[in-house]
Structure 1
Amino acid sequence: MLRGYYTATAGMMAQQRRQETLSNNIANALTPGYKQDQATLKSFPELLIQRMESNNVPTSRGFRVPTQNTVGSINTGVYVQETIPDFAQGGLRETGITTDMALVNGTLPDEEGSIFFTVQNGDGEVRYTRNGNFTVDGQGFLVSNEGYYVLDQDGNPIETDGQEFTVSAEGNIQLPNQVTPLGVAYSPNANQLIKEGEGLYRLEADQGALDDVRANPDATFSIVQRSLENSNVDTNQTMTDMMQAYRMFEANQKVIQAYDQSMDKAVNEIARLR
């Protein structure tokens, strides 16, 4: 019976974690370039139950042989193994603002592949984002809304000296006196990226940096200026999933209440000393 407590409690904790993930998706439904997270549930390893017995051997002194008979396996609940971002392309929304840019996936050679803008965070480290809601800072550099420098193909901050510029579909920023290719990185397996918050992703410390997408002849992309990529959160489906998670949480809660009533009866009625 006590094992049932743990199983139901594990189910409640898993649904709570799932609810938190879905709530975060809803909160970022209007964040440009946001990729919704998906919570993956996994069951704990099954336990094999065996019955310990002994058989009497008919001898003059009496001999008992211990035996083990398999009863079956039992599962002890589920847990949230990890949350995986869904890198599906979001819809485009026209803004009319020169510094807004939307990445559009073209033909990608890898099923789990995706492309990203490259930016430099406050510590000078390279990060990746799908949020093209950029602006120009007081020094004339192209930056993200958080103030992170947007990098070019060579990993340098891009100086536009104002908002009067155009961006070609190939990702080239065309200024009066120069053309600067935007840094657009390609990851063959975007699920290996670690989400940091503020729409940023990074690689493990020992994995170096992603290659520019232009280095892969099989990968194509385009950039749409004066537009933003919407998040890929389906609010209707997410609300339905949140209700489902809540109902499953309630079901596990009722199981615990039933166990509690059974334990109360076992302790205060069945085991009462007379």
Structure 2
Amino acid sequence: MIRGLYTSALGMLATQTQSEVIGDNIANVRTPGYKEELASDRAFDTVLTDRIENGNMGPEATPIGAMGTGVSVDRGAVSNVQGALQATDRKTDLALTTPGYFVVQTPQGERYTRNGHFDRNANGMLQTPDGYAVQGTKGAIGPLSADFSVKADGTIIDNGQIIDRLRIVDIPETALTREGQSLYSSSQPAQASANPQILQGSIEASNVDLSGQMVQMMTVMKAYEANQKVIQTQDEMLGKAVNDVGKI
């Protein structure tokens, strides 16, 4: 019975983590380039159980079967579904229409994003709203004039001259770790994308399905309530065992 309390409590903790993931997704439904975070249940190791006979676990013990010890949640993987493209007509807005990530330079090193909502700073350098330099094959991109253009393959042209080419990399979703809303680090070396396609004057919207997230939230809430009721029932049974059965 005590084990049942622990199992139900672990179930409540798992659903709490799931609700946090869903909450993050809903909060970023309007964040450009945001990728829906996925959370999956993972069962703890099962243990084999035997029925004790004659007060020992010797040869007389009878195997009963496997018993679960609880559940936890693995989070961190992201959905690779393409978000909808939204036209903005801003020269500095860039959308990836193929798999891959833009590369930006941060104080912590290179980071990766699909949020192509960029700006030019006072020196004409292409950067993110947080001030991180967007990277090309030659390093930081710029200075650029207000009338620069970007070809579909990422080549940047300004005043009739090729300035650089956007650096686009491929990274497995399982290797990504979210940092903030739409910025990622990688546990694996990034590989140059073979044939990236970029659309200037547009951004990729979040790929979060709001209605789907709401349905998941309702399911998680029901699972939380079910585990809560199981704990209440077991607590009542323990109370009877201590207060009533113990008197006999």
State the SS of the aligned residue for 2:174: helix
Which whole-Å deviations, capped at 9, do the CAs of 1:72-120 have from their partners, x for residues lacking one? 2211221113331111111100111110010011xxxxxxxx4111110
So what's the TM-score if we normalise by structure 2? 0.93
Q: In the alignment, which residue of structure 1 is the partner of 2:191?
A: 211
Letter aligned with residue 74 of structure 1: M
Q: In the alignment, which residue of structure 1 is the partner of 2:131?
A: 147
Instruction: Tell me if structure 1 keeps the 8 A contact 2:35–2:79.
Output: yes
In 1, distance between residues paired with 2:31 and 2:192? 25
State the SS of the aligned residue for 2:178: strand
So what's the TM-score if we normalise by structure 1? 0.85
Shift of 1:66: 5.2
Bigger mean CA offset, 144-153 vs 170-179: 170-179
Instruction: Tell me if structure 2 keeps the 8 A contact 1:22–1:238.
Output: yes
Distance 1:237 1:12, change over 3 A: same
State the SS of the aligned residue for 2:86: strand
Structure 1 stretches (4+) deviating beyond 3 angstroms?
none
Matched, 1:160 2:140: no
State the SS of the aligned residue for 1:84: strand
Matched, 1:178 2:166: no
Q: In the alignment, which residue of structure 2 is the partner of 1:62?
A: none
1:97 corresponds, among 90, 98, 117, to 90
In 2, distance between residues paired with 1:54 and 1:235? 58
Instruction: Tell me if structure 1 keeps the 8 A contact 2:31–2:181.
Output: no
Shift of 1:191: 1.7
Q: In the alignment, which residue of structure 2 is the partner of 1:58?
A: none
State the SS of the aligned residue for 2:244: helix
Larger radius of gyration: 1
Q: In the alignment, which residue of structure 1 is the partner of 2:210?
A: 235
Q: In the alignment, which residue of structure 2 is the partner of 1:193?
A: 176
State the SS of the aligned residue for 1:163: coil
> Any residues of structure 2 matched to 1:1-274 within 5 Å, and which?
1-54=1-54, 67-105=60-98, 114-123=99-108, 125-154=109-138, 156-179=139-162, 180-187=164-171, 189-204=172-187, 207=188, 209-213=189-193, 216=194, 220-272=195-247
State the SS of the aligned residue for 2:49: strand
In 1, distance between residues paired with 2:61 and 2:24? 50
Distance 1:152 1:23, change over 3 A: same
Shift of 1:186: 2.0
In 1, distance between residues paired with 2:212 and 2:131? 33
Consecutive unaligned residues in structure 1, runs of 5 or more = 56-64, 106-113
Which whole-Å deviations, capped at 9, do the CAs of 1:218-253 have from their partners, x for residues lacking one? xx3311111000111000000110011001000000
Letter aligned with residue 250 of structure 1: E
Consecutive unaligned residues in structure 2, runs of 5 or more = none
Instruction: Tell me if structure 2 keeps the 8 A contact 1:153–1:184.
Output: no
Letter aligned with residue 140 of structure 1: G
Shift of 1:178: 2.3
State the SS of the aligned residue for 1:30: coil
State the SS of the aligned residue for 2:197: strand
State the SS of the aligned residue for 1:251: helix
User: How many equivalent residue pairs?
Assistant: 245
In 2, distance between residues paired with 1:266 and 1:211? 62
